[in-house]
């Protein structure tokens, strides 16, 4: 029996080591699960807090886009109105001063033809 005593002690020590290792693994798993639960809760909380901010940013972007479209629409209408007034003013001027308008048109045409002629001559020929 004497020779078996060290074998029993070694076996008991091995069993205790296995038991301690099992407890350490369970404890680590428990800590990891708690950490993951806490992290999941934090992510959920951040998501809950971020949702209103994202919604507000989306609403502001939409409002800004709407203001931009309104400004473009308004600017386009102003441009059309100015073009119409200029056209009306030109027609009124031609009706009031037909000879003068014809002379201005002829002078403008001649100036444009002279400019085109100068630009055509200044280009090097290929």
Specify whether the CB–CB gap between 67 and 74 falls below 8 A. no
For the chain, what is the domain count? 1
pLDDT in tens, 79-99: 999 999 999 999 999 999 999
pLDDT score at 10: 78
E-assigned strand segments in the chain: none
Handedness of CA 7, 12, 13, 17 (dihedral sign): positive
pLDDT score at 50: 84
pLDDT in tens, 23-78: 989 999 988 888 888 888 888 888 888 888 888 989 999 999 999 999 999 999 99
Specify whether the CB–CB gap between 90 and 82 falls below 8 A. no
Specify whether the CB–CB gap between 94 and 101 falls below 8 A. yes
Token readout for 92 is 């009124």
pLDDT in tens, 8-24: 777 788 888 888 888 98
Cα gap 23→50, rounded to integer Å: 40
Q: Which domain holds residue 92?
A: 4-122
């Amino acid at each position: 029996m004497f020779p078996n005593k060290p074998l029993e002690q070694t076996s008991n020590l091995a069993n205790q080591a296995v038991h301690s290792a099992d407890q350490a693994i369970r404890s680590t798993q428990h800590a990891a699960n708690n950490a993951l639960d806490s992290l999941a809760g934090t992510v959920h909380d951040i998501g809950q807090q971020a949702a209103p901010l994202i919604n507000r940013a989306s609403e502001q972007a939409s409002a800004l886009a709407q203001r931009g479209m309104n400004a473009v629409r308004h600017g386009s209408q102003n441009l059309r109105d100015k073009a119409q007034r200029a056209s009306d003013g030109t027609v009124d001027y031609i009706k009031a001063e037909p000879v003068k308008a014809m002379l201005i048109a002829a002078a403008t045409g001649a100036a444009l033809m002279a400019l085109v002629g100068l630009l055509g001559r200044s280009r090097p020929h290929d």
